[in-house]
Structure formats: C-alpha cells, structure tokens
Structure 1
C-alpha cells in the first residue's frame, strides 16, 4: 500500500465531516417487497473538509502536505476527533495458543454489534491488560497487531486502551481554493476516503 506515516494537520482535521458508509444492494420485487444484500461487511469512512478557512501559513502547510501526497497517490493518517479513542476495550479471550491479536473497536448494539478493525493506533497510546492487569506488549503502529510475550491462557481476557487514526487518501488529484476578503484562504470541499487494507 502506498502509505506515508504522517498525519493531516490538526488545523485542517477539525473541519472534517465524517460519514461511515456501507454498500447494500436493494432489489424490489414485483410484489413491492425488498430484498437487501450487504455487499461489503465493513463500513468505509468518508470525510468532507468543508468551510475550511486557513491563514496564509496554514495554507502553505496544507498545500505542501497535498503535493507531498501527490494527490490521491499516497494515503496518510487522519484523526477523527469524534471517534478516535477507546477505554478497556475487549480484544480477545485466550485460547491457550495465541500471542498475536488485532486491535478492534466495538460499536455495541443489543441486536447486532459491529466490530471495527483498527490498523492505525497512535504510537505510545496503547495500554494492554490481561484480566485488568497492565502488561507489556509489542504494538505494530501500522497494522494494529498486538503481540504479548506469553501465550494467552485459555479463558483469560485481553483488553486495551488506545487512540487511533484512520488511513485515508485524498478523493481527487487536485483541490480548489480562493483568497478571501479577510485575508484567509478558503478551501473548497475536499473529499477523503478511508483506505481499507
């Protein structure tokens, strides 16, 4: 994957409007009944940078960031400030064999909970617990895999606290901007798409 391990500047991130999107095919029968098929199990995040006004210095930084990513060519980290942190998240129950576990976030629901795979944890933000006891572990910041030093014994519960970013790319190879009367520079709507590994 063409990925640069850099984060979109925070002064731009705060303008992002988030949108989780599933893919569903809907077919209506002759009788009027619907048949719905889930085409993609995981939601893809989309973001829209909207109403984004920057100072001259901020614009120079964003412009450099966009050009360094070569438009859509390279993905990067985005912090979704509305959805970026979990505390004491259940990760796994020991099977007596495994030492590696993927980070996940649970979106709880009494009918059908949703598990989201986390691949871009923030460096040094992850705490790992076994039965509520803090333990040392190796965290891969670029795929979200936890490696503990000993096999997780059968029935023991692994949990984690962490902050995470989303791997995104620009939705276009260009962007539009204009110089405003108040000396700020306004970015037109810029789309960002989650890159699912």
Structure 2
C-alpha cells in the first residue's frame, strides 16, 4: 500500500457527514463504580461522502478517484471542514497559533501539532499540512518562509538555524487528514440515485 498526496474534492467533502470516533473500554465493578480506559492515544475520524454527490458527473468523479486509489488500498488527503486549521475555521492561521517545541540550541526539526487542551493537553500530530499555508515564529518573531522547509508528507518543519535554548517555536497552518476509502465496494443503483437516494461512500482516517 502507499499514500497518494492528492486531495479528495473539497466541494464533495463539504457536504459529508461524520466526525470523531474514540474507543473507550468500560468495566462496571460490583460496587457500581466504573473503570474506564482507552487503547487509543488519538481519536479516529470517519465520514460518509455520499451526501456530497448530487449528479452523475459527481458520481463519476468519485468512482474515478476510487479506482485510482484501488479502493481502500491507498490513502489520500481529505479536508475536514470542521477542523482543518491551527485556528478557528473562520480565522486565518497565524504564526503563533500552536506551540510545537522549545529551542535547545541544537534541534532544528519540529513536528507540527495541534493542541486540543485538557490536562495533560491532547496534542494531535499534523502529518499533512497544506502547501503554502505553514507559518513559523521563534520567540514571537515570525520567520520568513525562506528560513525553513516543510515536509508536506510528514508535517515536520526544519529551520535553517536551530532556535536558541528556551526559545518558543510556534506555528500556524492549514491541514488535511490522511484517510482511505472504508469499503471494498461502492454500490450505486442509478434508478434510485436519480430518484434522490444517496450512495454510501465511507471514508476512514488512517495513521501515517
């Protein structure tokens, strides 16, 4: 399997349904108290892209994309319209949106992350930043894009010079979610489709 650095149509993903999935193991004790645990450090997201398909041309576009990915075999990029920026969805990413590290005078590479809060904070690694959107700052001073490089396949940013010890490294960015198709088949009844029945096109987040 491989990952294809190509994005599913944002126009079609906009109307999708879905959201966050977590796995929680709950054991009820004899005294009525519960013990709760999760084997997942990170949530997993899933969607159904069928609602975005409004015409036969849309359906053809999805089928071609599905075939090019060999169904669930290869991953691809997906825009989660609810959560696709280092800031609020209505704002523009700023260089101080997210803390991604602290300088030690030696390290120059940092993984992009998004902080969802909590104690301890839940940090989501961002592996698929959108090209041209990453902004960086060191100790509050924004860097020129020529002063760092971005690996858009891993979300690792590398500064030309290591930040000084104690200097806060922050970032702002837009990002995609790595996903795959969630089924080995896509079934569509054209008569039902033309009558308004929406096909099911499951999309599942993957780890990369």
Superposition TM-score, scaled by structure 2 size: 0.86
SS of the residue aligned with 1:142? Answer: coil
2:171 maps to which residue?
Answer: 160
Match of 1:120 among 103, 107, 128: 128
In the alignment, the residues of structure 2 paired with residue 184 and residue 2 of structure 1 have an alpha-carbon distance, to the nearest angstrom, of 37
Q: How far is the alpha carbon of 1:19 from its aligned partner?
A: 1.8
2:183 maps to which residue?
Answer: 172
2:11 maps to which residue?
Answer: 11
1:193 maps to which residue?
Answer: 204
Q: Would you tell me which structure has more strand in proportion to its own residues?
A: 1
Q: How far is the alpha carbon of 1:182 from its aligned partner?
A: 9.0
In the alignment, the residues of structure 2 paired with residue 166 and residue 172 of structure 1 have an alpha-carbon distance, to the nearest angstrom, of 18
- Choose 35-44 or 185-194, whichever is displaced more: 185-194
2:109 matches 1:91: no
CA offsets 1:123-152 (integer angstroms, 9 cap, x no match): 111111112222221100000001001111
In the alignment, the residues of structure 2 paired with residue 186 and residue 160 of structure 1 have an alpha-carbon distance, to the nearest angstrom, of 43
In the alignment, the residues of structure 1 paired with residue 155 and residue 59 of structure 2 have an alpha-carbon distance, to the nearest angstrom, of 32
- Choose 19-28 or 96-105, whichever is displaced more: 19-28
SS of the residue aligned with 2:59? Answer: helix
Structure 1: runs of 5+ lacking an equivalent: none
Structure 2: runs of 5+ lacking an equivalent: 87-92
SS of the residue aligned with 2:127? Answer: coil
1:1-197 to 2 correspondences below 5 Å: 2-86=2-86, 87=93, 88-109=97-118, 111-135=119-143, 136-179=147-190, 187-197=198-208
What is the CA RMSD across the aligned residues, in angstroms? 2.0
Q: Is the 8 A contact 1:179 1:185 kept in 2?
A: no
